[in-house]
A and B are shown apart, each in its own frame.
Chain A
Amino acid sequence: MRDNIPLLTAIDVHKAYRKHAIEVPVLNGLDLEVYAGEFLSIVGSSGSGKSTLLHVLGTLDKPDEGRVLLEGERIDNQPAEQRDRLRNQTFGFIFQFYHLLPELSTLENVLMPKMIALPMRGWFRERRALKQAATELLDRVGLGHRLRHKPRELSGGEMQRAAIARALINKPRVLLADEPTGNLDADKGEEIVRLLRDLNRQERLTIVMVTHNMEIVANTDRFVRLVKGRVEDTSGETAASIANHRSASGVCLSTDVEC
């Protein structure tokens, strides 16, 4: 499921946050290539910069140094409108805490990226077709019966499915998932990962997922580990071997990775 042209490339990315006048480095010269159609997972201890990497890749945040390329074209230094459009059209985000808008129904939440994309007239012209598309998408993620419910009336798993449908409504090229199962129990988490896996296989959707859970990692094509803001060489290991090794020994590989 992997092409040889990198779809998304990060080259020597540095990012630091200021906390009370102390500079906290998060990313230290990180290099990463994401290939079209692959399901990549990123693991690493807390504070290793996984989420920040995802934000930088998805143009939510700017790197202090270095470059982010989409199909060889630099995107991190684009003007704000361009980056807004990229987030709207090219990237889909899902988060650990779902981040649905509480005032809107499931259907409205899923339609939100479309509403942001279209001017008022366009929205009203295409409203019916878009609602139809959103309904189908919600059917696809198994929420066809929850269209009019508000987020607070949904379970965690259902909220995450709604968030996935929202991320997919504009047919993005890359889905950036920030610990999508972090707040779910094992069964529900597995369902979500299976859904992502299916989307990756059936629609050839490129997925970059940050996770703690090594069992989930085993379901993905490839993984990288972040240590101190850099990608550690993982060429010798495979996700499957890690998962097998761990389940055999019952010992955590990294002190911070959850068992």
Chain B
Amino acid sequence: MYKLLLCWRYLLTRYLALVCIISVMLGVATLIVVNSVMAGFSTKLRERLHGLLSDIVVEARDFQGFANPEGKMALIQSDPFLSQRIEAMTPTLEIFGMIQFNCNGSPIARPVHIIGVDPEGRARVGGFAEHLMLHKGKPSFALSREALERNSLFHPPRRLDEIARSMLPKPKDGSPVPDPPPSRELPPSTIIVGYAVAHFRAKMKPEEAAQEIRTLDPGDDVWVTTISGQGMKPVEWRCAVCDYFRSEMSEYDANYVFVPIDELQRLRGMDNRATSLQIRIKDYRDLHAVKDRLQSLLPAHWSLSVHTWEDKQGPLLAAISIEKGILNVLLFMIIAVAGFGILAIFSMIVVEKTRDIGILKALGASNTGVLNIFLTYGLLLGVVGALLGSLSGVYITLNINEIEQWLTRWTGHELFDRSVYYFNEIPTDLNVWSVLLINGGAVAIAVLFSVLPALRAALLHPVRALRYE
């Protein structure tokens, strides 16, 4: 009983104890915030990485692609194992290329990855429709009315009809001039561009936060250049921007453009050909089983390769896990520093309390009793520190974006550069288990580092302790 009473009193009367508590608190709060943000980034990044990629991709080994994607899809569907597990499939035609457009009168050219898709089919595979900014959830290559009007400004209606009419020989009999065959007003070809292709971030003034500047409005003209399927002849066509694709993965947003697959097939002279099949499966746990089955099903001479999205993003995923590992080591150092702080402060408290320890022993307290006083003290410091640290850590994590904005305003320096990740806000993933683990670890370390001073206190000779000045 006296142990608890003394611990409690020591806790309330020692300002050094407060220092211990603060060091534990800071450690725990930092760990929780960093872990949550890291987990948030990791989860979000995985989501994004997966986002655009379908679960499984069947690819041709070259950019000439393979013929008859419908037939191949039918073959896959005819397999009972696969047809049960596959949710959706769609062919895509992917090719590198270049786009050119005018921005404030100066021409801009960018290398891009051109993907020909069937918007509805691609949407069923996932990771497409939800990233469209104007047709969110309703994927299409249609131009909105405003975009169409804007596009027509660049291409005033040709006076072809009048010209044609004037060139026709005038009938002698004064009968009305017959109408020329109507010139078909073709709707312009359209393109969905990555958000970062059409926007960039820049600082107008050095002291201001960076602003987003749009270089392509819906309806603006873009020239796309690539190569044809056979003979590698250059192919070039004009299209109008109809939408932006924003996956918040800068790698995709800065490089990808989407065009209708049939148009790309026609322009590249690759009718009924595709370079890959995107497959979405019903249950993610079947990923590898489906992949293996596909590999055995597709004949080798078609030279198609099967990848899961994880295979395709292997290096990036590995990088994330390495990052996490290093971070954990560094964070462990933080706790160790806090632990040594506790050790030092505890040793001081034991010295300060030497005479009290002698008194307690004179009154019949055992060595174990004295040991327990200081171990309990360590435990109490750890628990209080961890509790306060958890509260502040969770609070900071939940309000991290407000805090970041406030800091950005305060310092004028953008802490979280949105152009790097294209996340609108700092993602966090507050995991109850990791919070509990951090708390347990902090308390354990507080107790562990108080063992040495506590032992010292317990083994003090009572007479020497009593005489201690």
Contact = CB atoms under 8 A, between A and B. Distances in A.
A97 B356 CA distance: 12
Nearest to B14: A103
A116 B355 contact: no
Contacts of A99: 355, 358-359, 362, 466
A81 B362 CA distance: 13
Contacts of B10: 103
Given A55-B463, A61-B463, A103-B13, A116 B362 contact: no
A166 B369 CA distance: 19
Contact of B2 (A60, A102, A112): A112
By CB atoms of chain B within 10 A, which of A58, A95, A112 has the most? Answer: A112
Interface string A91-104: 00101000111111
Interface string B1-25: 1101110011001000000000000
B362 A60 contact: yes
B363 A60 contact: no
B360 interface: yes
Contacts of B105: none
A88 B363 contact: yes
B364 A116 contact: yes
A116 B1 CA distance: 7
Contacts of A211: none
A210 to B, nearest CB: 14
B365 A101 contact: no
A88 B365 CA distance: 8
Contact of B360 (A61, A86, A116, A119): A116
Interface in B306-351: none
A84 B467 CA distance: 19
A108 B463 CA distance: 23
A101 B9 CA distance: 11
Interface string A59-78: 01100000000000000000
B364 A117 contact: yes
Given A55-B463, A60-B463, A61-B463, A84 B1 contact: no
A118 interface: yes
A136 B13 CA distance: 29
B366 interface: yes
B462 interface: yes
A86 B463 CA distance: 16
B364 A89 contact: yes
B363 A93 contact: yes
Contacts of A103: 6, 9-10, 13
By CB atoms of chain B within 10 A, which of A84, A95, A113 has the most? Answer: A84
B273 interface: no
A95 B465 CA distance: 13
Contacts of A120: 1, 4
B5 A115 contact: yes
B450 interface: no
By CB atoms of chain A within 10 A, which of B355, B360, B364 has the most? Answer: B364
A149 interface: no
B280 interface: no
A81 B366 contact: yes
Interface residues on A, range: 20 to 34
A89 B363 CA distance: 9
B361 interface: yes
B397 interface: no
Contact of A87 (B1, B5, B355, B363): B363
Contact of A101 (B4, B359, B466): B359
B390 interface: no
B409 to A, nearest CB: 46
A99 B361 CA distance: 12
Contacts of A108: 5
Contacts of B461: 61
Given A55-B463, A60-B462, A123 B363 contact: no
By CB atoms of chain B within 10 A, which of A81, A99, A166 has the most? Answer: A99
A104 B463 contact: no
A85 interface: yes
B367 interface: yes
A80 interface: yes
A113 B367 CA distance: 15
B461 to A, nearest CB: 8
Contact of B356 (A80, A101, A118, A119): A101
A150 to B, nearest CB: 10
B11 to A, nearest CB: 10
Contacts of B1: 115, 118-120, 123-124
A72 B428 CA distance: 74
Interface in A125-142: none
Nearest to A163: B359
Contacts of A100: 359
Nearest to A55: B463
Interface of A: 52, 55, 58, 60-61, 80-81, 84-89, 93, 95, 99-104, 108, 112-113, 115-120, 123-124, 166
Given A116-B2, A117-B364, A124-B1, 8 more contacts: A85-B364, A87-B364, A99-B362, A101-B359, A108-B5, A112-B360, A113-B364, A116-B363
A-B pairs with lowest CB-CB distance, top 7: A88-B364, A103-B9, A115-B2, A123-B1, A87-B364, A115-B1, A84-B366
16 contacts: A55-B463, A60-B466, A61-B462, A80-B367, A87-B362, A87-B364, A89-B364, A101-B360, A103-B13, A104-B5, A104-B6, A113-B364, A116-B364, A117-B364, A118-B1, A119-B1
Interface of B: 1-2, 4-6, 9-10, 13, 355-356, 358-367, 369, 461-463, 466
